[in-house]
Each structure stands twice: as structure tokens, then as C-alpha cells.
Structure 1
């Protein structure tokens, strides 16, 4: 791997910025100053340092974020704050992106990574990765609604895949439910509930595949996936 590419991949700076660091003699390879940005290095064998501080190469990063309401699931937005704005400077990388999206007013589990292949597999309609949501509904959901979810509901002329509607509690004309989908159409939960004559007033994603939102991860916070969580996610 080229030295400048390695440095950029470690998050030290852009390719242009790291070239300047190399020219200034601030980069060493195996304790020797290296001033050629095209120099070839082996990330697994060579000791590469910036101003004496060792740099470690990691190709892919995986973060579990508890998305709060009010931020958008995007890498950048001219109007609103994005989920990447929640990252500390030390963890932020230009190649990170959210896997799928949650509406601006929706909270919950969101995977942030730079692994495009994994993201493709998780979002592929052929994979049918389950996504579970907790929802507070204005109106009383009943067995008829459950049957409609199981059969699929027509949205924009197309029938959704069968979904599960689990009714946890009903009180004062409001329902607490969990909804399990195997696809991710635009505003799908809200539109399916609306098709049943009710309205979603609060929505939170609590699971994606075998990855669940930890109870101790507060809104707006994130952490790296554990090796076990990553194994479950990759199936």
C-alpha cells in the first residue's frame, strides 16, 4: 500500500494533507524518516509513526449509534444536523455512513460503518434482514390489524411483505406495539399503521437482525460493535 494512502486510511488527514506531513519529515517507517508519498508499506509488518506516535491501520469500522430525534440519517445535510455530527473528532472518518435510514423524528438503533459490502447485504431485499420497532400508536390496534400486517398492506400499488404486529399494551385509546419488518420502504411503519386508520406518535428501532439496541446506550451516544455483535450481524 502507498504510504499516503495508508496515512489517509488511518484518519490522519486527506491525501493532500498527509503528503505535506510526509514532505515535512514528520512520518517514519521502521524508525526511518520517509519523504516519498509513493513509498510502499506493509500495514501488517511495517512500523509507521507520526511525530513518534505509532499509527495502526484498520480497514473497516463498525459503530452502533442510538439515534435521537432531530438529526437526519445522512453523511451531510445543508439544513439539519446529521448522525455523523454526533461523532467525536477522534472517531470521525470521511468514509463513514449510516446503513439505511431512520426518519428525522425516529429514534433508535442505527449502524454506522465504512463497510459497503456489509451495508449492501443488510439492506438487500433478498436477505430479508428483520428490523424491529417499538411504536406508540394513537388509536387501538387489534387482531384485525395484526391479520392485515401478516397478509401485507398495499402501499403505492404494491403489497408489502408479511410483517408482524405485536400488541404489548392498550390504554386510554393508545397502543404500545412492536412491529417487525423484513424490508424498508419509505416511511413504511407509519404508512402501514395509517392504512389501518391509526397514527404513529412515537417510533424507535430496537433491533436489526440479531443486533439489539443496548439499554445502557443513551440517545445521541455510540460505541464500536463488539466482536460478538459483529459476528451476529454478519451471520
Structure 2
């Protein structure tokens, strides 16, 4: 299937590792031009080298803190200049933050919401004029299944992720008349730096394959997912194949979540 992504111009936050990296690589393989954004210059350079080695095409790299509005605006304008516009935005930047309610102070609330919610707001507001100029666009907000079904000791992340889902639905309503589609993906257990740290700390005697398939994770499909599997869904959602899909969310969790 031709996904209609050749020549499309995409910007991905949190693009140097994990799901963002895998999505950037796949978009380039599909013929898109890509700019990846992260805070760490060294990580971006490593990601650029790996993507170039794999695809033969180098992504543009932009260093920025997505939680700061002026930096987000600068990153989007820079990407638009480098790419010649913006058709696709993937708001992927985030971090793990999961504690009991009474352990979360004001500073942790502020930093988590600034990164996961306001970073999405800042990048989206900056990118939308370029999409309007192009006559269409697609945005995917990468959230987590805890935003739909928060568990104990899941704060503040589950709250900022839930806000991200509400934002996705509201944006989809406001932007549909501009032919800009907005969807979300809700991530479960996916292999990442964080997951690997958990593996090495909790079960160093197991190989990754053994750990990924451990029944303690309670994943109906029987394993932890790969970043590439999340990227496949994200790339579909920003493609022409999903041209009538907006305002929805897709769980990428191996069936673990108790909600649709």
C-alpha cells in the first residue's frame, strides 16, 4: 500500500530515541522529509548517524526544550525553513513520572504538565499555520494508556496524559475545517531506555527475550512491544491511508488496557 507520504514534511519531538526515533526512520523510508527535535545534541547526532546509515537519508536535527514556548516556536520555524513547510507533527516528547499522589509536589506537577501537555500545545500552535498554508496536515499526540485508565502511584503522568487526550479531541474538532487531522496513540509497555533500565534492575538474570515474555507483565499478547510496532501505527495515522480518521486514540499495549 502506498501511504502517500513521499515528499511530506514532518517534525517529531523526542525524536532521538525510542518511538520517536523509530517513527522518524520509518517516515524517511516512506519518502518523507523529517526533522527530529530533542534537548540533547549528542543524542540527536547519534540518531542522525544511525538513521542515515539505515536509510541513506539524513534527518534534520534541532536542539530545543519543548516545555519552553519560545524554544518550541523556534524549533518549528527552523524545521519549516529546513523542510520547506510542515505537513506532519508528532508530539512524542515525554518522560516517566509515576509516584503516589501524596509524594508529588508542585514542582513535579509543573514540570510534567509543562513537558507533556504544554509542549504539545506549543508545538501544535506553532505548526498549524504552516499546515493551513499547505491546505492540510496531520498531528499525532503520543500519550499513554494510563491517561485512560490511571492506576495507583501513576501521578503526575497519568493526569497530564489524560489532559493530552482531551486536548486531542478538542483540537480535532477545531481543526477539521482546515483539513488538519489530530489523533493520539496510547502507549503501554514498549521497549525503551526506561524499560531496559527496569529489566536490568529487577531481573538481570534474564535475557531481554525472557524478560519481555515474563507473565508478570500481564500483557495478553504475551510480550513487551517494540518501538517499531508503535511507529507503524503512528505513520499510518499521519498517512493518506487514514484520511478519514481524526479525533480518536489507538492503544498500543498488547491488549493490556481495560479500556478501549
TM-score strictly above 0.5:
no
**TM-score normalised by length of structure 1:** 0.28
Larger Rg: 1
Between structures 1 and 2, the one with greater strand share: 1
